[in-house]
Structure 1
């Protein structure tokens, strides 16, 4: 006898599962997973074997991306010093 189809569990109140969070953020699920492993983006909550993202943290993260703080630290490399150009001497 076939098993009845499982109905997907609802996320906790005020949260969305990973596919919906990625859709709201405008990124792929893979990018969202990479953000999680790098410690960037909104912080998920583990529910069983799934990740639930708080909607208010997604909105706050999107707002921060649209309006970055002027004194915010960034992870870009500092500019390298320019070396003087060697010119050919006229001999």
Structure 2
């Protein structure tokens, strides 16, 4: 993680730096980098040597996550149950 500088540059208006964005989303900074690379989370804008995230995009992403938690699209991710086959009985000899 970068060392905090003495002359902290403020983020652009309506944005936060990646560290604060990760804290707001309850994620680690590395997870937020991974989400950005995979296209899952809010897309940050590159700023000289940093990433800035739009606060409205963070809130929209959190709202979407809450909605999916309330109303999941699928019951679960596992395979459907396979039908049971009848047991073969041994023929009496």
Q: 2:13 maps to which residue?
A: 13
Q: Distance in 2 between matches of 1:16 and 1:45?
A: 10
Deviation at 1:55, TM superposition (A): 0.3
Which deviates further from its counterpart, 12-21 or 77-86? 77-86
Against the structure 1 CA distance between its residues 50 and 86, is the aligned structure 2 distance closer, same or farther, given a 3 Å change threshold?
Answer: farther
Matched, 1:32 2:26: no
Q: Distance in 2 between matches of 1:28 and 1:85?
A: 47
Supply the RMSD in Å over aligned alpha carbons: 2.7
Unaligned runs of 5+ in 2: none
Tell me the number of residue pairs that the alignment of Structure 1 and Structure 2 aligns. 85
Matched, 1:65 2:65: yes
Q: Distance in 2 between matches of 1:29 and 1:88?
A: 57
Q: 1:43 maps to which residue?
A: 43
Moved over 2 A (4+): 76-89
TM-score normalised per structure 1? 0.73
